[in-house]
């Protein structure tokens, strides 16, 4: 673009308005690091008025160690032409007027006009970082809760499977001991002691299994009043990170009046994440891949619906859907839905599935809505 017939003042004014319109902070400096232009966004981001920083060294916007090292960086570049930062975006730490330090992404370009000018474009990424951290935290907690939940289910099944043979072994050993007592042979007492030892080992094994099951089952739950829409939104993000979602269209229909419920946030997220992942799995082979996540206020309840246009649930599977270890997947464990159901029921809610039309499945989580307007936890 050429500034037709415009004098220098016009093109400067034009340049300034472009710079001020940029959604990123724009700062230009000369070879000595002195600030020449400090855009409107830069003023908002750093808290300095332009007049406060014009002519000042740009290092006022940097915390240590860059604050002390920046002059050296610039000198080295000007002497050697070797650039570490020119032409590519890189993460940096910046400092506001009030001393707050924040993460940013900096992109520098260089212009050689009458003098050498460096233009920095700065994006404040503190919000993204905070969201990432919150998501990472939640994911960690979720994995932990998921592992504990899965272990609890497995422990219950193992305990159930092992208790029977252990009880049988204990009574068989008891019977052997009685039979031996009636007989007389050398070493009888030793044999009886050995059998008693075997019985106490069997009892110990049963005790260990019982303890493990009880320990894993009794995870402390932390119920608090939470916004259902917020939990659903966070769960979607978590569920869709790293999932095979190629071609899946995600639509959400969150009811502004869905309100809050007394729930264990991590557990409810575990349920929704599992339902979303199942929905995505069910659409692997179908051409139309539509995932709809909705919330709705329904009388005394709040509903969360996860609908897909996948394979649908087979008649055979419908009978066992919520049973532990029921799976149709090659690498499935079949415990997700059974844990989800027990979590929802522990919240005095319901979890059920229906056919979607014309194809696919809908899973519904129904939870008692909170009646009082108490303030929700963040």
User: Which residues of this protein are in contact with ligand ADP, per CB under 6 A?
Assistant: 274, 278-279, 282, 308, 310-313, 317, 321, 326-329, 332-337, 361
| Least separation in angstroms between CB 314 and ligand ADP | 7
- Which of 144/329 has CB closer to ligand ADP? 329
Could you tell me the smallest distance in angstroms from the CB atom of residue 148 to ligand ADP?
17
Q: Which is nearer to ligand ADP, 27 or 273 (CB)?
A: 273
Nearest to ligand ADP of 231, 282 (CB atom): 282
User: Least CB distance from residue 327 to ligand ADP, whole Å?
Assistant: 3
In the complex, least distance from residue 159 CB atom to ligand ADP, rounded to whole angstroms: 20
List the Cα angle 275/279/283 in 5-degree steps. 170
Query: Closest distance between ligand ADP and the C-beta of residue 248, in Å?
Result: 12
Q: Judged by CB, which is closer to ligand ADP: 46, or 322?
A: 322
When the beta carbons of 177 and 327 are compared against ligand ADP, the nearer one is 327
Closest CB 328 distance from ligand ADP, rounded Å = 3
By beta-carbon proximity to ligand ADP, the closer residue of 43 and 295 is 295
- Tokens of residue 303, six digits: 């509903």
What's the closest the beta carbon of residue 153 comes to ligand ADP, in angstroms? Answer: 10
Residues 6+ apart with CB under 8 A from 65: none
In the complex with ligand ADP, which residue's Cβ is closer, 152 or 334?
334
Length of the chain: 378
The token duo for 112 is 């050689």
Pair 367, 344: CB distance under 8 Å: yes
Nearest approach in angstroms of CB 319 to ligand ADP is: 11
For the bound state, the minimum distance from the C-beta of residue 266 to ligand ADP, rounded and expressed in Å, comes to: 18
In the complex with ligand ADP, which residue's Cβ is closer, 79 or 285? 285
Closest to ligand ADP by CB, 135 vs 326, is 326
């Amino acid at each position: 673009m050429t500034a037709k017939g415009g004098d220098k003042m016009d093109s400067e004014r034009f340049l300034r308005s472009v710079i001020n319109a940029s959604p990123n902070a724009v700062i230009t400096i000369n070879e000595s690091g002195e600030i020449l232009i400090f855009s409107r966004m830069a003023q908002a981001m750093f808290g300095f008025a332009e007049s406060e920083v014009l002519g000042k060294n740009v290092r006022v916007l940097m915390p240590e160690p860059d604050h002390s090292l920046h002059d050296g960086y610039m000198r080295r570049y000007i002497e050697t032409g070797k650039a570490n930062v020119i032409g590519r975006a890189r993460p940096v730490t910046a400092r506001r007027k009030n001393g707050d330090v924040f993460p940013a992404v900096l992109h520098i370009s260089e212009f050689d006009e009458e003098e050498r000018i460096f233009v920095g474009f700065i994006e404040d990424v503190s919000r993204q970082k905070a969201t990432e951290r919150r998501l990472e935290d939640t994911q960690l907690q979720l994995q932990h809760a998921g592992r504990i939940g899965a272990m609890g289910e497995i422990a219950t099944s193992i305990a159930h499977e092992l208790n029977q043979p252990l009880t049988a072994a204990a009574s068989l050993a008891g019977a052997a001991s009685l039979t031996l007592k009636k007989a007389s042979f050398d070493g009888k007492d030793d044999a009886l002691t050995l059998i008693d030892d075997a019985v106490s080992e069997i009892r110990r094994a049963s005790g260990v299994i019982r303890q493990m099951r009880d320990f894993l089952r009794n995870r402390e739950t932390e119920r608090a009043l939470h916004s259902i829409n917020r939990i659903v939104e966070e769960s979607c993000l978590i569920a869709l990170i790293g999932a095979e979602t190629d071609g899946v269209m995600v639509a959400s229909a969150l009811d502004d009046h869905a309100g809050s419920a007394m729930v264990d946030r991590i557990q409810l997220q575990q349920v929704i994440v599992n339902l979303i992942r199942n929905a995505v799995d069910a659409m692997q082979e179908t051409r139309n891949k539509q995932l709809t996540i909705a919330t709705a206020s329904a009388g005394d309840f709040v509903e969360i619906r996860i609908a897909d246009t996948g394979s649908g649930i087979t008649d055979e599977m419908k009978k066992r859907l919520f049973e532990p270890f029921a799976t149709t997947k090659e690498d499935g464990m079949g415990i997700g839905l059974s844990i989800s159901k027990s979590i929802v029921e522990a919240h005095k809610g319901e979890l059920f599935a229906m056919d979607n039309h014309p194809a696919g499945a809908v899973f519904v989580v129904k939870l008692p809505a909170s009646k009082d307007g108490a303030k929700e936890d963040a």
